[in-house]
Amino acid sequence: MPKVAVGFALATNETLGHELQAVLSIPPEDLLARGRARAESLNLSFVGAVYPPEAWALFQSGKALLVDVRTIEERTFVGHVPQSLHVAWKFGTGMTQNPRFLREFEKLAPKDAVVMLLCRSGKRSSDAAEALAKAGYTNAFNVLEGFEGELDAQQHRGGHDGWRHWGLPWIQA
Protein backbone atom coordinates (compact mmCIF):
# COMPACT_ATOMS: atom_id res chain seq x y z
CA MET A 1 0.00 0.00 0.00
CA PRO A 2 1.41 3.44 -0.92
CA LYS A 3 2.21 5.81 1.90
CA VAL A 4 2.14 9.59 1.99
CA ALA A 5 5.71 10.62 1.32
CA VAL A 6 5.56 14.06 2.90
CA GLY A 7 2.66 15.38 4.94
CA PHE A 8 1.25 18.88 4.81
CA ALA A 9 2.24 19.61 8.40
CA LEU A 10 5.75 18.35 7.70
CA ALA A 11 6.78 21.12 5.31
CA THR A 12 10.52 21.15 4.70
CA ASN A 13 11.16 24.37 6.56
CA GLU A 14 9.43 26.54 9.11
CA THR A 15 8.73 29.41 6.70
CA LEU A 16 6.94 27.15 4.23
CA GLY A 17 4.98 25.58 7.08
CA HIS A 18 3.73 28.98 8.25
CA GLU A 19 2.81 30.00 4.70
CA LEU A 20 0.87 26.77 4.24
CA GLN A 21 -1.01 27.24 7.50
CA ALA A 22 -1.89 30.81 6.49
CA VAL A 23 -3.33 29.63 3.15
CA LEU A 24 -5.41 26.95 4.88
CA SER A 25 -7.11 29.65 6.95
CA ILE A 26 -8.36 31.52 3.87
CA PRO A 27 -11.99 30.76 2.92
CA PRO A 28 -12.27 28.73 -0.31
CA GLU A 29 -14.31 31.47 -2.02
CA ASP A 30 -11.47 33.93 -1.39
CA LEU A 31 -8.90 31.47 -2.78
CA LEU A 32 -11.00 31.06 -5.92
CA ALA A 33 -11.29 34.85 -6.23
CA ARG A 34 -7.49 35.15 -5.91
CA GLY A 35 -7.04 32.56 -8.63
CA ARG A 36 -9.48 34.34 -10.92
CA ALA A 37 -7.79 37.71 -10.35
CA ARG A 38 -4.38 36.14 -11.02
CA ALA A 39 -5.60 34.66 -14.31
CA GLU A 40 -7.01 38.03 -15.33
CA SER A 41 -3.77 39.84 -14.48
CA LEU A 42 -1.79 37.24 -16.47
CA ASN A 43 -4.27 37.60 -19.36
CA LEU A 44 -5.01 33.87 -19.40
CA SER A 45 -7.74 32.41 -21.60
CA PHE A 46 -9.13 30.28 -18.76
CA VAL A 47 -10.69 31.31 -15.49
CA GLY A 48 -8.01 30.83 -12.86
CA ALA A 49 -4.48 30.06 -11.72
CA VAL A 50 -3.63 28.85 -8.20
CA TYR A 51 -0.40 27.99 -6.43
CA PRO A 52 0.01 24.50 -4.94
CA PRO A 53 -0.92 25.47 -1.35
CA GLU A 54 -4.08 27.16 -2.62
CA ALA A 55 -4.92 24.09 -4.72
CA TRP A 56 -4.43 21.83 -1.70
CA ALA A 57 -6.68 24.02 0.47
CA LEU A 58 -9.40 24.06 -2.21
CA PHE A 59 -9.09 20.30 -2.77
CA GLN A 60 -9.32 19.62 0.96
CA SER A 61 -12.36 21.88 1.29
CA GLY A 62 -14.22 19.86 -1.33
CA LYS A 63 -14.81 22.99 -3.41
CA ALA A 64 -12.67 21.80 -6.34
CA LEU A 65 -11.57 18.66 -8.12
CA LEU A 66 -7.86 18.08 -8.67
CA VAL A 67 -7.09 16.47 -12.02
CA ASP A 68 -3.59 15.30 -12.85
CA VAL A 69 -2.98 15.68 -16.60
CA ARG A 70 0.48 14.07 -16.65
CA THR A 71 1.16 10.71 -18.24
CA ILE A 72 0.33 7.53 -16.38
CA GLU A 73 4.07 6.84 -16.22
CA GLU A 74 4.70 10.16 -14.44
CA ARG A 75 1.95 9.44 -11.92
CA THR A 76 3.26 5.95 -11.28
CA PHE A 77 7.00 6.57 -11.09
CA VAL A 78 7.25 10.20 -9.93
CA GLY A 79 4.22 10.21 -7.64
CA HIS A 80 0.81 11.84 -7.43
CA VAL A 81 -1.60 13.55 -5.07
CA PRO A 82 -3.80 11.07 -3.16
CA GLN A 83 -7.41 11.03 -4.39
CA SER A 84 -6.56 13.17 -7.41
CA LEU A 85 -8.25 12.24 -10.66
CA HIS A 86 -6.35 11.52 -13.86
CA VAL A 87 -6.80 12.32 -17.54
CA ALA A 88 -3.59 12.49 -19.56
CA TRP A 89 -3.24 15.61 -21.73
CA LYS A 90 -0.41 13.91 -23.63
CA PHE A 91 0.99 10.38 -23.51
CA GLY A 92 4.05 8.31 -24.34
CA THR A 93 7.68 9.30 -24.56
CA GLY A 94 6.93 11.44 -27.60
CA MET A 95 4.31 13.42 -25.64
CA THR A 96 1.62 12.77 -28.22
CA GLN A 97 -1.57 14.78 -27.75
CA ASN A 98 -4.36 12.65 -26.25
CA PRO A 99 -7.15 12.82 -28.86
CA ARG A 100 -9.68 11.58 -26.26
CA PHE A 101 -8.81 14.19 -23.61
CA LEU A 102 -12.10 16.10 -23.76
CA ARG A 103 -14.24 12.96 -23.98
CA GLU A 104 -12.44 11.44 -20.99
CA PHE A 105 -12.65 14.69 -19.04
CA GLU A 106 -16.38 15.01 -19.64
CA LYS A 107 -16.82 11.68 -17.82
CA LEU A 108 -15.13 13.15 -14.72
CA ALA A 109 -16.66 16.58 -14.33
CA PRO A 110 -19.59 18.68 -15.52
CA LYS A 111 -18.73 21.89 -17.36
CA ASP A 112 -19.55 24.10 -14.37
CA ALA A 113 -17.40 22.17 -11.85
CA VAL A 114 -14.34 23.86 -10.36
CA VAL A 115 -11.45 21.83 -11.73
CA MET A 116 -7.77 22.37 -10.99
CA LEU A 117 -5.31 20.88 -13.44
CA LEU A 118 -1.86 19.69 -12.38
CA CYS A 119 1.12 18.62 -14.51
CA ARG A 120 4.89 18.50 -13.95
CA SER A 121 5.60 22.25 -14.09
CA GLY A 122 2.34 24.00 -14.94
CA LYS A 123 2.77 24.20 -18.71
CA ARG A 124 0.75 21.20 -19.97
CA SER A 125 -1.94 21.90 -17.39
CA SER A 126 -2.17 25.47 -18.69
CA ASP A 127 -2.71 24.13 -22.22
CA ALA A 128 -5.30 21.67 -20.91
CA ALA A 129 -7.12 24.45 -19.00
CA GLU A 130 -7.21 26.51 -22.19
CA ALA A 131 -8.69 23.56 -24.12
CA LEU A 132 -11.31 23.03 -21.41
CA ALA A 133 -12.27 26.71 -21.46
CA LYS A 134 -12.70 26.55 -25.23
CA ALA A 135 -14.89 23.45 -24.74
CA GLY A 136 -17.19 25.35 -22.36
CA TYR A 137 -15.71 24.60 -18.93
CA THR A 138 -16.34 27.75 -16.93
CA ASN A 139 -14.18 27.03 -13.86
CA ALA A 140 -10.90 25.56 -15.17
CA PHE A 141 -7.88 26.49 -13.03
CA ASN A 142 -4.22 25.78 -13.67
CA VAL A 143 -2.02 24.75 -10.74
CA LEU A 144 1.03 26.97 -11.19
CA GLU A 145 4.45 25.41 -10.55
CA GLY A 146 3.05 21.90 -11.12
CA PHE A 147 3.91 18.75 -9.23
CA GLU A 148 7.70 18.91 -9.63
CA GLY A 149 8.31 22.57 -10.42
CA GLU A 150 10.77 24.24 -12.75
CA LEU A 151 14.34 23.18 -13.34
CA ASP A 152 16.94 24.82 -11.11
CA ALA A 153 20.53 25.76 -12.03
CA GLN A 154 21.60 22.12 -11.58
CA GLN A 155 18.79 20.96 -13.90
CA HIS A 156 16.84 19.42 -10.98
CA ARG A 157 13.15 19.88 -10.25
CA GLY A 158 11.55 20.50 -6.86
CA GLY A 159 14.27 22.67 -5.38
CA HIS A 160 12.44 25.97 -5.42
CA ASP A 161 8.81 25.41 -6.38
CA GLY A 162 6.14 22.82 -7.16
CA TRP A 163 3.73 20.65 -5.16
CA ARG A 164 6.44 18.48 -3.62
CA HIS A 165 8.62 21.49 -2.75
CA TRP A 166 5.76 22.87 -0.67
CA GLY A 167 5.64 19.65 1.37
CA LEU A 168 2.09 18.85 0.28
CA PRO A 169 0.81 15.25 0.41
CA TRP A 170 1.79 12.88 -2.37
CA ILE A 171 2.21 9.15 -2.81
CA GLN A 172 4.29 6.95 -5.05
CA ALA A 173 3.47 3.44 -6.21
What digits encode the pLDDT tens for the residues 96-146? 999 999 999 999 999 999 999 999 999 999 999 999 999 999 999 999 999
pLDDT of residue 68: 99
Residue 136 CB-density burial (10 A; 0-12 exposed, 13-18 middle, 19+ buried): exposed
Relative to beta strand 96-97, strand 115-118 is unpaired
What digits encode the pLDDT tens for the residues 49-90? 999 999 999 999 999 999 999 999 999 999 999 999 999 999
- Distance from chain centroid for Cα 168: 11
Best CA proximity match to 81, nearest among 101, 64, 59, 98: 59
Relative to beta strand 115-118, strand 140-143 is parallel
Q: CB of 73 within 8 A of CB of 53?
A: no
For residues 18 and 36, the model is more confident at 36
For residues 43, 48, 49 and 55, what is the CA-based torsion angle, rounded to 10 degrees? 180
Helices marked H in 8-163: 14-24, 28-41, 52-61, 72-78, 101-108, 123-134
Write the Ramachandran bin of 141: left for phi over 0, alpha for psi from -120 to 50, otherwise beta. beta
What digits encode the pLDDT tens for the residues 145-163? 999 987 667 766 566 679 9
pLDDT of residue 151: 61
Q: How confident is the model at residue 173 (pLDDT cuts 50, 70, 90)?
A: confident
Which domains does the chain possess? 8-143 (3.40.250.10)
Q: How much is the pTM? A: 0.87
Task: State the DSSP string of 60-71.
Answer: HHTSSEEEE-S-
